[in-house]
Amino acid sequence: MAAVALSACLTMIVSSACLQTVSELKTSSAELHYERALQLAEAGANAYLSRLTFGASASSVVPPALSFGAQAPTLAELKAGLRDGTYSVMAYPAGSSDGYCAGTVGKVGSTATIASFGVSNGIIRQVTVRTAIKQAPSDLDGETDIFPSGKYAIYGITSVNLVNNSVIDGAFGSNGSITLGNNCLVTDTNDHLVSLNGAGATLTTGSGCVYDPDTTNQKVGGDVVWPTVSQLALKVRTNGLADLMQAAYNDNSDIVRDGVAGSDATTLSLKNRGLAVFPSKSGGSNYYLTNAEFGNGASVRFDNANGPINVWFGPVGGPGSWDGGQNLSAMVTRPDLIGTNPVHIAFATTTAITGVNNFSFDVGIYAYDLMNNVPIGSVEVKNNGAFTGSLVAASITGKNNCVFTVGNEHFHPKGNGYYRRQFWAE
């Protein structure tokens, strides 16, 4: 009997210990998922902060654009939204059923509020992060997008003057004055901001202009400082433009001018309905021109199938320009590759582009240098001009039905705004 009693006692003790262990494991597991949900919420906030600063990414951990509206959902509302498909979880790590759901609350401008929810085994926790744009390093190695939430369609460093019925589909801005004439339209999304930088920046609008005033007056640490074309050229060749103007260092002989290649000429002249083709090669092609003139109906094709293409205009302060004439078409042959093989035309000349009547570009235009410390690089177009891509110039004038649409490539300022966390709360 004593042995039976002892055996029963031992069984009870072991069973109790097992039950206690199971209970502790359950508690430990719940605590683990509770803590992990918080870590996932923090990871989501950091990932969305990266999105605001650097834009969309192909990375599997950068969440898609999401706005919760005026206020973040409650935990119950988020759970319901996850069930009905209103919201989705960005799996982390990839393939996991756990992850985070992050987005912005309210307007995104010089400040932003991020709400992020971490989901782990059915447990949800939330963090809220408030951020503000801070000053970036003013050197070429510290390049960062000035407006993290979108790419510029146009940026006039000293001025932007758009007259009558112009359309801007993308962010735009200036360190100086922006004038929108009658019936100009700025598309209204969070990525399409009116960026006024510096104490002297102004915005003047004519009658019938349509834009979102809540996205204006984003003064971000003073003037945006842009690199000059001369500085950018130094990244390509040791002596910059001085090297690129020499036939030994440029690819001018590859240009096919009305069916003929092999010329090292630094000027380009096409008569009516003429065609020039700029081929590309692995590692990128660099062309150097001092002047380009096009007759009515001329076409330029940038064949970016094999790599990026840069067209440099010089010398600094030179008289040459891209004279578009009428009905000029300057297009890339592989727009699907523009993200990896972009096409940029960079002007160090005083006048960059002039064009009239039904011309079109779908390449990145960069026209900014300094002469006696004065910004140079003017772009003036009128009558049904169409730009797709980023257009950055010292001054930009568009008259009568011009359309500027942001593209898949963009240019980096030397320094200025990036989003930095100011406040965090669960």
pLDDT for 120-154, tens place per residue?
988 999 999 988 655 444 443 433 333 333 367 88
Same domain, 67 and 185: no
Q: Are 313 and 322 in contact (CB under 8 A)?
A: yes
How high is the pLDDT of residue 338? 85
Place of tokens 């500027």: 404
Average the pLDDT over each of 21-30, 119-128, 303-312 and give the range with the smallest value: 21-30
Q: Of 116, 388, 70, nearest to 214 (Cα)? A: 70
Residue 33 lies in a domain: no
How high is the pLDDT of residue 193? 67
**pLDDT above 70: residue 406:** yes
Same domain, 131 and 183: no
Beta strands in 256-298 (DSSP E): 256-257, 267-270, 275-278, 285-289, 291-294
- How far apart (Å, rounded) are the C-alpha atoms in residues 260 and 263? 8
What are the structure tokens assigned to 347, written together? 């002007």
Mean pLDDT of the chain: 81
Q: Are 251 and 285 in contact (CB under 8 A)?
A: yes
Same domain, 120 and 217: no
- How far apart (Å, rounded) are the C-alpha atoms in residues 175 and 252? 35
What's the mean pLDDT in 297-320? 93
Question: Please, which pLDDT band fits residue 355 given cuts at 50, 70 and 90?
Answer: confident
- How far apart (Å, rounded) are the C-alpha atoms in residues 289 and 276? 13
Q: Of 137, 84, 176, nearest to 394 (Cα)? A: 176
- How far apart (Å, rounded) are the C-alpha atoms in residues 375 and 352? 12
State the distance between the two ends of the chain, measured CA to CA, in whole angstroms.
60
Tens-place pLDDT, residues 64-74: 888 898 899 99
Residue 11 lies in a domain: no
Overall number of domains in the chain: 2
Range of the domain at 132: 39-141+417-426
Compute the Cα dihedral for 373, 176, 112, 390 and give only its sign: negative
CA distance readout (Å), 212 to 107, 174, 195, 389, 403? 11, 17, 12, 22, 18
Residue 207 lies in a domain: yes
**pLDDT above 80: residue 188:** no
Residue 211 lies in a domain: yes
Same domain, 182 and 130: no
